Structure 1
């Protein structure tokens, strides 16, 4: 659609068409699916024009999460995707994808000590990975404007439908803000939000969190909150959605307050959702394969599912410990 000033009369047909398209889908997903079924039920998929942040402390699995999601999109749904890896080089990213897709421990991929059946598994799965429309740019010290140019070329030239940037704190800028990193991050998120709108695709960024949560105690003390992003510019303000990753067993928390087993489980916390629901989604985390996946049905915790469905009543806002003023 051509940009500029328009009377709403001329915008209604496209909105109505999108509504009809969404209504025709039986899965309720109007955007790009993550491949995590309960997350997709909460989000309706990643929406065009939106900027989404995924935050976590070190060792929670930010990169493993986005690689698992990219695998789902590119292999399972054949959606062209692009990853800007600002932390790992091309070989490291590729090896992590092999570990994820082939379900062979990373140490074995590194030293080549594979059992005969694992070589067969590798050969079979590598074809899936080879045919996947997955594009990777691991340019170090990438400047924001160069990233935007590459992203535009990928969308127009390769048909890329979604872009992931891992992670935003490693971006650089031509203009220095008197060494004020906070202002620099503000510029990055606003530029990326504009880019998502210009290219009409979802853009996902990963972000570090500050250390405050490490000092908090109790079962819920280690759960990330929106305030844990306060040193990361205006991510919370500029993003349409903010998600956090939390693995309780990393902090030696093996049960929730209702006695449910949390070992090997990861929580995806939808803390802000401008156009939808907030709540929690449980995934299974397989650390040896650096992989997040849908939990088996017998691993689902009914009380947490109920809580999530109830949370869908909270629409278009932020999740915090403060009660809503209405």
Structure 2
């Protein structure tokens, strides 16, 4: 008896909220639905104008849904759309009677004489559908909110995801004229000239920025490499350059490392204190002072780190949208792609299909928010088994060729020192110690290049590699603080050896 009373009370409470809508008709425009369907059956132009705006679900009446489905099938098969063909298609689908029969189809064609203003009418029908969808979603959220077993953060994500589905499925952009696009392009070119040639977000690496003009809005950038190459270190270095030096908001999604581990690595690279010292806490008094002073810039940086494990592409999209609206993020980084999931609706497919879905959605996210999305990716073991320099190739991308297809830039991180290769395979046979190569293997809007960077393993960071076009530049760098700048005694050592400990000195670190 007690259980019955509890159940009755529970139903009564829910009913109180939902009863607010009782006695009200859902938003609808059945008269416009009739006009639109009639116009589509008498004028081919009407079909062409709205076939990509509407779908069967937006119609309020079930019979109108069946009629639009028949029209859509005829359009897909490149068959003529008129009163007779639609009737024939409905018969084939065994839905003619449910749609109202031939008499109702004739009535629809008699309600309108042309397809004039059909797009305007279709937009109104779509608006009414969105209103109905919002009412339905709101009722579902109310129901779930009364359930004490529901996690409130899951409820928020569910609500946001359902609203996002309504937006994605129904609000579509129309084409723009060449005049409008030319005006936009001219404005963008003017902005670039004011930013010294960078049209995107600067990576902080001079040669990379020169090749890419910065990371471009709406681009998907893949950075791939084998374990141990320094993928996370490189993206953290870039995140630091963007957030600390340029004060540009960055979102970093880490599926592999915790947020505290990541920030500890950033502290290490920022202060020049090794990760081992920070892990043990065995710091001298001056090192504590150094730590407190040098992390102040990092503390103020607009860097947002999310370490949710097994993040689904849908959750990522929801979180990124929230960060974009609340904090105006201009760059998204993901470490790394293979640890993501496609979400509940994609569980039936194989892993390759899942990765394809993820990469496709990452590109869609970049376009939607108009920000560059940088995603790290693993490479297959084919690199290890290959002889020679073991420099990665596009074919080494793991699990899916869709990654290469969807990405605007595909780059690789390569450190020959990891494979015990002591010299670069160039004419000078320069040493590989403390160096890495950033290989741009695909660039949809620019050139390709292999760019060498400085790698400081003990600090877990990358920096610009000092390069000298002539011995005189090298000598002037050595003697910039010397009393005799005209000395011509050339050392036989490399720049790193010549600078000695000064290159790793806390006060003279190359900014990365």
**TM score, norm. by length of structure 2:** 0.56
Name the structure 1 match of 2:269. 100
Q: Which has the larger radius of gyration?
A: 2
Of Structure 1 and Structure 2, the greater strand share is in: 1
Matched, 1:152 2:321: yes
> Residue 78 of structure 1 is aligned with which of 226, 247, 256?
247
Residue 421 of structure 2 aligns with which residue? Answer: 253
* SS of residue matched to 1:11: helix
* Alignment correspondent of 1:116: 285
Partner of 2:229: 60
Equivalent residues of 1:80, 1:162 under 8 A apart: yes
Q: Structure with the greater relative contact order (CA < 8 A, sep ≥ 6): 1 or 2? A: 1
In the TM superposition, residue 299 of structure 1 has moved relative to its aligned partner by 10
Distance 1:95 1:57 in 2: 23
Mapped partners of 1:78, 1:230: distance in 2: 34
1:83–1:136 contact (8 Å) kept in structure 2: yes
Q: Distance in 2 between the 1:149 and 1:166 partners? A: 17
Whether 1:18 aligns to 2:188 is yes
CA RMSD of aligned residues (A): 1.7
Aligned partners of 1:78, 1:111: CA distance in 2, in Å? Answer: 31
> Separation in 2 of the partners of 1:107 and 1:230?
32
SS in 2 for 1:269: strand
Deviation at 1:215, TM superposition (A): 0.8
CA spacing shift, 1:233–1:174, aligned 2, 3 Å: farther
Q: Helix, strand or coil: the match of 2:234?
A: helix
Q: Choose 4-13 or 265-274, whichever is displaced more.
A: 4-13
Offset at 1:300? Answer: 10
Assess if the C-alpha contact under 8 Å between 1:61 and 1:245 holds in 2. yes
Displacement after TM superposition at 1:281 (Å): 0.8
Q: Deviations over 1:42-81 (max 9, x none)?
A: 1110000100000000000010000011011111111110
- Contact in 1 for aligned 2:254/2:335 (Cα 8 Å): yes
Q: Which residue in 1 is equivalent to 2:408?
A: 240
Who is 2:384 aligned against? 214
SS at match of 2:440: strand
Cα contact 2:351–2:399 (8 A) shared by 1: no
Q: SS in structure 1 opposite 2:282?
A: coil
Ranges in structure 2 where 5+ consecutive residues have no aligned partner: 1-171, 472-512
Task: Please identify runs of 4+ aligned residues in structure 1 that moved more than 6 A.
Answer: none
- Report the more deviating stretch, 184-193 or 116-125: 116-125
Cα separation, partners in 2 of 1:130 and 1:179, compared to 1, 3 Å: same
More helix by share: 2
Quote how far apart the aligned CAs of 1:12 are.
1.3
**Could you report, residue by residue, the CA deviation over 1:91-142 in whole angstroms, capped at 9, with x for unpaired residues?**
1112111112112111111110112222121111111110111011111121
Corresponding position of 1:267: 437
5 Å matches for 1:302-321? none
Contact 1:209 1:232 in 2 (8 A): no
How far the C-alpha of 1:24 sits from its partner, in A, is 3.2
Distance between the aligned counterparts of 1:36 and 1:194, measured in 2? 27
Aligned counterpart for 1:50 among listed residues 219, 244, 247: 219
From the superposition, tell whether residues 179 and 10 of structure 1 become closer, same or farther in structure 2 (CA, over 3 Å).
Answer: closer
Q: Give yes or no for contact 2:422–2:433 (8 Å, CA) kept in 1.
A: yes
**Does the CA contact (< 8 Å) of 1:100 and 1:289 recur in 2?**
yes
Structure 2 equivalent of residue 34 of structure 1: 203
In the alignment, structure 1 residue 227 sits paired with structure 2 residue 390: no
2:334 partner SS: strand
Query: Is the deviation greater in 88-97 or in 235-244?
Result: 88-97
State the alpha-carbon separation in 1 of the partners of residues 304 and 469 from structure 2: 33
Between the aligned partners of 2:457 and 2:283, the Cα distance in structure 1 is 18
Q: Name the structure 2 match of 1:201.
A: 371
Does residue 91 of structure 1 match 2:260? yes
Q: Distance in 1 between matches of 2:470 and 2:271?
A: 25
Equivalent residue of 1:277, what SS?
A: coil
Q: Distance in 2 between matches of 1:207 and 1:299?
A: 34
Deviations for 1:195-235, whole angstroms, at most 9, x for unmatched residues?
110101100000000000101112x3x10110001523511
**Structure 1, unpaired ranges of 5+:** 302-326
Distance of aligned partners of 1:20 and 1:157 in 2 relative to their CA distance in 1, 3 Å threshold? same
Whether 2:303 is the aligned partner of 1:137: answer no
**1:281 maps to which of 442, 451, 461:** 451
Give 2:168's aligned residue.
none
Give the Cα separation in 2 of the matches to 1:99 and 1:25. 31
How far apart, CA to CA, are the structure 2 residues paired with 1:19 and 1:106?
43
